[in-house]
Chains A and B, each alone.
Chain A
Amino acid sequence: MENANSSESSSDLKVVHRMTVIKRIIHWTLFLSIINQIITGMYIAYPFLIFGITPTQADSPVSGVLNSGETYQAFIMTWMREFHFLGAVLIDVSFFGWLYLAFFSTKEPLYKSFLPFGNKINEMYKMLKHYFTLKNKPKTGKYQDPLNAIIFTFFHILLLLQMATGFQMYVASFTGTSAVGAWWPTMMHICTDWTLLVFGGLTGVTLTHLFITWLIIIFIFYHIYIEIWRSIVWKEGDILIPFGGYKYSRDNLKEDESD
Chain B
Amino acid sequence: MRKSNEKDKSAKEKEIKNNDDDSFCSDEHNNRIDDTTFKWDPLRNIADDPDEVLNIIDSHLTNLEKEYFNGQKDIDENFNKVFSASSVSRREFIQWTALLTSALMLPTIFAPRVARAANILTRTPFIWLDMSDCMGNTEAFLRTAHPTPAEIILNYVSVDYMESIMVPAGYQAEARRDGTIKKYKGKYILVVEGAIPTAMNGKFLTIGAKGKTGLEITKATAKNAGVIIAVGNCASYGGIPAAHPNPTGSVGLSSVTDRQVINIPACPANPVNLVGTLVEYLLVGKSPMLDSLGRPLWAYSGRLHDNCYRRGHFEAGEYVKHWGDDGAKKQYCLYMMGCKGPFTWNNCTVAQYNQDMSFPMRAGHGCIGCSEPAFWDRMTPFEKPNADAKIFMPAVEATADEFGVALFGAAGVGVAAHAIYTGVKKRKNNKDKDKDKDKEKEKDKDDKLNSGDNK
Contact = CB atoms under 8 A, between A and B. Distances in A.
A176 interface: yes
| Most chain A CB atoms below 10 A, which of B301, B327, B387, B419 | B387
A203 B390 CA distance: 11
Contact of A214 (B326, B385, B405, B421): B405
A51 interface: yes
Given A72-B312, A74-B316, A134 B303 contact: no
Interface string B283-297: 000000000100000
Given A54-B318, A55-B316, A74-B316, A233 B426 contact: yes
Contact of B316 (A77, A132, A217): A77
A203 B425 contact: no
B400 A203 contact: no
B330 interface: yes
A67 B422 contact: no
B210 interface: no
B318 A200 contact: no
Interface in A182-218: 193, 199-204, 206-208, 210-211, 213-215, 217-218
Interface residues of A, number: 50
Interface residues on B, range: 35 or more
Contacts of A45: 385, 387
Contacts of A225: 415, 419
A214 B302 contact: no
A51 B385 contact: no
B411 A48 contact: no
B446 interface: yes
Do most interface residues of chain A lie in helix, strand or loop, or is the interface mixed? helix
Do most interface residues of chain B lie in helix, strand or loop, or is the interface mixed? helix
B419 A47 contact: no
Contacts of A172: 303, 342-343
Contacts of A67: 317
B20 to A, nearest CB: 40
A203 B379 contact: yes
A57 interface: yes
A203 B306 contact: no
Nearest to A50: B317
Interface stretch (B67-75, B140-148, B264-272, B370-378): B370-378
Given A54-B318, A222-B415, A225-B415, A200 B400 contact: no
A203 to B, nearest CB: 5
A151 B313 CA distance: 42
A56 interface: yes
B403 interface: yes
5 contacts: A57-B326, A77-B317, A134-B422, A172-B343, A214-B404
